[in-house]
Structure 1
Amino acid sequence: MGGARVSWALAGIVLVTLVTLVIGFYGLRVARTTSDLLVASRSVSPRWNAAAIGGEYLSAASFLGIAGLVLSYGLDVLWYPIGFAAGYLALLLFVAGPLRRSGAFTLPDFCELRLGSRKLRRLVTAFVVFIGWLYLLPQLQGAGLTLRTVTGAPYWAGVVLVAAVVTGSVALGGMRSITFVQAFQYWLKLTALAVPVVFLLLRWRSSGSGALVTPESPVGTEWLLGGGTPAQGLFGTYSLLIATFLGTMGLPHVLVRFYTNPDGRAARRTTLGVLGLVGVFYLFPTIYGLLGRIYTPGLATPDAVVLVLPGVVLGDGPLGQALGALVAAGAFAAFLSTSSGLLTSVAGVLSTDVLGRGSVRDFRWSAVIAGLVPAVLALSVDGVDVSRVVGLAFAVAAATFCPLLLLGIWWRGLTDAGAAAGMIAGGGAAAGAVVFTVFGDPGHGWLAVLVTQPAAWTVPMAFAVMVLVSLATRRRVPAAVGRMLLRLHAPESLV
């Protein structure tokens, strides 16, 4: 890679990093209480919150992974972004308003308020930390890949840089400061993809390089398994849809943002805004993947297609260098914003349930621990497909917090014993599948698809176990369940 292009890209990455640090230090001035650090004192407007959620939700898997999958497998992989975006519809309809009206700060808070069990709270804390660290792993891997691709720096440099910047900004400013960081970074990411794609499409149109979509594009679902029968591919596709559609409502770093809204109505308006922002964003990675099938077929690292395409198509001139730097800056913004949200959610539960009682000092030490563990893992595990790891994190969330929230909000018969049994059965099975997929060899055949795409059987298992055990333990239904459900569903002015 030319020295001039490296300098441009490095300048873009440094600029994004400096802006993140500046806002983080500003957060140190305004974040003075635990409420500031955990939920921004519940004062974030729907407009700011929607942009912030878009910033943290559109992660490495969205910015780099979707384009890489389209490059490798064609348009069939659009099930990924469809599921990622559609999950907010379920959030809007079933969860957003009641969750905000609960008055909780974290998911463990909600569970204890609804079901009155400290033991269940500890179980929920364990799953929040597991999902958060699992989701952080591909963000840090993507940072290492990006810095290596655009500057030639060693893989570990990107991992360490993002981990250090995010840990510092979260520890200093908490939720209040990262709200501004993430809102800014959503618009940066959208601009970083949208502006270059205009020039790429103009060059493609003028060069007559062929159609973006051709009859030779794959039209199957075997990409899910790396091979397999049509029945296995169909099962994998449905399982992926279940994971992404239902897993969104179980992601701790997404849910914690609804606690920052002033009321339930604002939470619903926030979700509606996120649907629009996320839907617009996902138009662009698809185009990069399709252009990559023309200009960079057989790219050794498909996840890097967004980063290399401006230079390949537009050359080493000033335009190609400037647009390449813009894309690199957007990619780093993706890692920083998503990692910030994940780190905040993990640090929140560590500070309130593991290290202490949620003081400012506890939160800041928890942020350091929450950032150190996934950084060590990312340095140890290189080359894992970021989109697949994120999909597995969605599967665990779908098999744990999705049934817990839906039944806890909409069914008065849920008990603490039922909730715990369902989470252990469904979530434990999904977590085991994740560990085997990431560190083992799933192979091929039905066992492989059941392990690599576990949501289709772990989610129904979790729902069934929660309902059956709750029915068998009716006496454990909280005495104040009616009052709690009224609080969740009635307008704030009436409660």
Structure 2
Amino acid sequence: MSINNLAGLLGVIAILALTILIGAYSRKFSRTTSDFYVASRAARPWWNASAIGGEYLASASYLGVAGLIAVAGRDALLIPLGYTAGFLLLVMFVAAPIRRSNAYTLPDFAQSRFGSLGVRRVTAIVSIMICGTYVVPQLHGAALTVEVAAGLPPWTGSAAVAVVVCLSVVTGGMRSITFVQAIQFWFKVTALAFPLLFMVFALMAKENGFAALGTAFESLPGDSPRTSPYRTISLLMALILGTVGLPHVLARFYTSPDGSAARRTGVIVLFLVAAFYLLPTSYGILGRALARAGQQEDADALVLRLPDLLLDGVTGAVLSAVVAAGAFSAFLATTSGLIVALAAVVSQEFFHSDVVGFQGAAIISSGSTLAVSLLTSSVSLVDTVALIFAFSAATIVPMLILGIWWQHLTPAGAVAGMITGGSLVVTALVFHTFIGNAFGLVSDLLAQPAAWAVPLSFTVMVVVSLGTSPPNPARVERFMRQIHRPDHEGQATAHRKQDRKWA
């Protein structure tokens, strides 16, 4: 085993051990159903924002963004903007109202809003599809990391993440992973920033170092064909709106003490995420000039290889190991949030809504997603995640936005819109798989369906709702007053009493 592989293996083992230790320590705080589902709604804004940053900044952010910039140049600089801007919409329109709904999960919110078991079931199915498919690229990213950094068989990375996450979730639930994700966010920042400083100083110390840095920026326009304007707009729409509908991100806002705290959490997340994306963007700029990766699949490993390309000997090996440990931290944090969201929905819909049901659902969710990752091959991390965001934007987001801000949305309208949006996105992707990029605009429409699937989903919800009537207008009116009323003294205590009742 080379020194590079040995250092990478030690880095991966260190972050796995740290995750297990933090989870074991925080386990003593997890006792009740509320602890496992919503961390007893006691997560303060800064801590909760760090945890959201930990689970949101996943494989596509840590590895994929830098690789995409290295391949596509300036066309890819909008990707971090899309990932970040979604939190602005979430803060403005969703965070506080969804917290005031007192929900444990997104299906809970749907049933409270519409009083319909049908809407709850559709929301649950969509949530399971989003979280389940989102876990797979995290496990693929872990497989890529251990192969590049440690020289191990790819399946060992996927299995290690799945097992450690399963243990953390089963033993401590949401309260346990809140500690883990918050610490892992700051570790990810350090794991990218520290090697980046060394690389910049090393580059400037070399002959013509300043010229090399200038070349890195001048190379951004690149010589690759420009992406069509439609694909760019549609991708941005998918990333911005899709963020608002991610079940595992929404679940973190249920853990806030009240609606005001949820909104403050969202504002902090916006700044944390924006600051983080400066780091992978810098890696991509350096890689554009120095590594010249040709394909996105190869470029996903750029962040892992770049320190060793610029720094010789032990220094390069150690810094590459630090980056690899940060990558594993990203996979662990995101997978933890996704498995918690999956376990919460699966346990409520198919088992008992208690600790035992949650733990059983977590084991099933971890095992099934690991099996899927082992049976599928890895593709571009950014492309995979963008398609998941498009599905979220066309299903959950219209139901949330209209459900929160339009009193006349009916159960029939919500179900019709979610089924329409989800079916359109899946159908488009299936057709694009067969025809590829050979048909110009048609291929663009199928490859990035968010720009037309999302408006159609909203339209279907509105039209069907105008043609039907809510089953209980008085109940809907009470619910709307509840989620839009200002927070007041004693409200958090009332929420905790309600949690104990549910527990």
Q: TM-score of the superposition, structure 2-length normalised?
A: 0.93
Corresponding residue for residue 42 of structure 1: 41
Which of 376, 390, 401 does residue 395 from structure 1 map onto? 390
Which consecutive residues of structure 2, in runs of 5 or more, have no partner in the other structure?
492-503
* 1:413–1:477 Cα contact (<8 Å) kept: no
Change in CA separation of 1:206 and 1:44 when aligned onto 2, cut-off 3 Å: same
Corresponding residue for residue 205 of structure 2: 206
What is the identity percentage for the equivalent residue pairs of Structure 1 and Structure 2? 46
Change in CA separation of 1:30 and 1:475 when aligned onto 2, cut-off 3 Å: closer
Which of 224, 228, 247 does residue 252 from structure 1 map onto? 247
Is 1:324 paired with 2:323? no
Deviation at 1:434, TM superposition (A): 4.3
* 1:221–1:237 Cα contact (<8 Å) kept: no
Is 1:69 paired with 2:64? no
* 1:76–1:220 Cα contact (<8 Å) kept: no
Corresponding residue for residue 368 of structure 2: 373
Which of 346, 349, 360 does residue 350 from structure 1 map onto? 346
Which of 217, 220, 241 does residue 221 from structure 2 map onto? 217
Give 1:160-199 correspondences, 5 Å limit.
Answer: 160-199=159-198
The residue identity in structure 1 corresponding to 2:368 is V
Render the CA deviation track for 1:67-93: whole Å, top value 9, x for unaligned.
000111102111111010010000010
The residue identity in structure 2 corresponding to 1:82 is L
Corresponding residue for residue 235 of structure 1: 230
Change in CA separation of 1:215 and 1:48 when aligned onto 2, cut-off 3 Å: closer
Corresponding residue for residue 337 of structure 2: 341
Decide which moves more: 470-479 or 30-39.
470-479
Change in CA separation of 1:70 and 1:125 when aligned onto 2, cut-off 3 Å: same
The residue identity in structure 1 corresponding to 2:328 is F
Deviation at 1:151, TM superposition (A): 1.1
Render the CA deviation track for 1:246-303: whole Å, top value 9, x for unaligned.
1111000000000000000000000010011000100011111111122211366100
Deviation at 1:436, TM superposition (A): 5.4
* 2:395–2:418 Cα contact (<8 Å) kept: yes
* 1:8–1:325 Cα contact (<8 Å) kept: yes
Distance in 2 between residues matched to 1:218 and 1:353, nearest whole Å: 50
* 1:131–1:393 Cα contact (<8 Å) kept: yes
Is 1:311 paired with 2:315? no
Count of aligned pairs: 482
Corresponding residue for residue 285 of structure 2: 290
Partner SS, residue 425 of structure 1: helix
The residue identity in structure 2 corresponding to 1:191 is T
Distance in 1 between residues matched to 2:371 and 2:435, nearest whole Å: 22
* 2:54–2:185 Cα contact (<8 Å) kept: yes
The residue identity in structure 1 corresponding to 2:436 is P
Corresponding residue for residue 267 of structure 2: 272
Decide which moves more: 275-284 or 476-485.
476-485
The residue identity in structure 1 corresponding to 2:299 is P
Deviation at 1:435, TM superposition (A): 5.1
Corresponding residue for residue 153 of structure 1: 152
Distance in 2 between residues matched to 1:143 and 1:11, nearest whole Å: 15
Deviation at 1:380, TM superposition (A): 1.6
Partner SS, residue 493 of structure 1: coil
Corresponding residue for residue 229 of structure 1: none
* 2:30–2:36 Cα contact (<8 Å) kept: yes
The residue identity in structure 1 corresponding to 2:437 is G
Distance in 2 between residues matched to 1:115 and 1:12, nearest whole Å: 48
Distance in 2 between residues matched to 1:190 and 1:304, nearest whole Å: 18
* 1:76–1:218 Cα contact (<8 Å) kept: no
Distance in 2 between residues matched to 1:308 and 1:475, nearest whole Å: 57
* 2:239–2:389 Cα contact (<8 Å) kept: yes
The residue identity in structure 1 corresponding to 2:151 is G
* 2:307–2:316 Cα contact (<8 Å) kept: yes
Corresponding residue for residue 452 of structure 1: 447
Deviation at 1:213, TM superposition (A): 1.6
Corresponding residue for residue 51 of structure 1: 50
Q: TM-score of the superposition, structure 1-length normalised?
A: 0.94
Which consecutive residues of structure 1, in runs of 5 or more, have no partner in the other structure?
224-232
The residue identity in structure 1 corresponding to 2:352 is R
Deviation at 1:398, TM superposition (A): 0.5
The residue identity in structure 1 corresponding to 2:43 is V
The residue identity in structure 2 corresponding to 1:484 is F
Deviation at 1:219, TM superposition (A): 7.6
The residue identity in structure 2 corresponding to 1:262 is P
Is 1:461 paired with 2:456? yes
* 1:134–1:389 Cα contact (<8 Å) kept: no
Change in CA separation of 1:475 and 1:325 when aligned onto 2, cut-off 3 Å: closer
Distance in 2 between residues matched to 1:332 and 1:474, nearest whole Å: 49
Partner SS, residue 474 of structure 2: coil
